[in-house]
Amino acid sequence: MKTIFYLIVAVAVVFSACQNENSVNPRPTEEIIGKATITGRVKAELNTTTTGLENVSQGIKIIAEISTADLATNVSGSVVYPNKYYETTVSATGEYSIEVEAGPRGSSVKLYFPDFRADVTTNSAPVSTVFTGSTRTVAVIKNQTKIQDFNY
C-alpha cells in the first residue's frame, strides 16, 4: 500500500512540474493590448446669423464601444465576446478625448454622438432645436491617436 501511495505522489509531482508555453515564455498583456486615444471637435450650427459652425454645449456625453474580440489574439467562433464601453463628455471648447483599448490587430470603435437640444440664435428670436446625432466607426491602433471630428 505504501508503494502505491509513493507512486501516486511521484506521478503528481511530475505532472505539477510541467509548465505550459505561457509560463515558460510569458507574454505580458501590455505586448498584446495597448491604449489608443480618439480626440476631436464637435460642432453644430448654433447661430444662423454667422457663417460656419459653433462648438456644441459642454457636457454632451460621447460613448465608445469596442468588441473584446478585437482584444483577443486568437478569435474563436464558438466564444461570445462582449462589448466594452467607454464614455467622455464634450469640453467647453467643443473638444473631446477618449482612451480605449486596442488589440494586436487594432480595434474597430463605434462612437455614439447623442441627440441634444439647444437654442439656435436667429435674426428674430432663439429657436429651440433638436440636433440628431449618429454613429461613426473608426479604426484605432494601439499607442496612437486618431482624430475624429463630428458635425451635427
Q: φ and ψ at 76, to 5 degrees? A: -110, 135
Provide the residue ranges of all domains of the chain, joining segments of one domain with +: 33-151
Partnered with residue 40 across adjacent β-strands are 96
Q: CB within 8 A of 143, min separation 6: which ones?
A: 34, 35, 36, 102
CATH class of 33-151: mainly beta
Q: What is the CA radius of gyration of the chain?
A: 26
Termini Cα distance of the chain = 81
> Per-residue confidence of the chain (152 residues) as pLDDT tens digits?
556 544 555 545 444 444 444 444 444 455 678 999 999 999 999 999 999 999 998 899 999 999 999 988 877 778 889 999 999 999 999 999 999 999 888 899 999 999 999 999 999 999 999 999 999 999 999 899 999 999 99
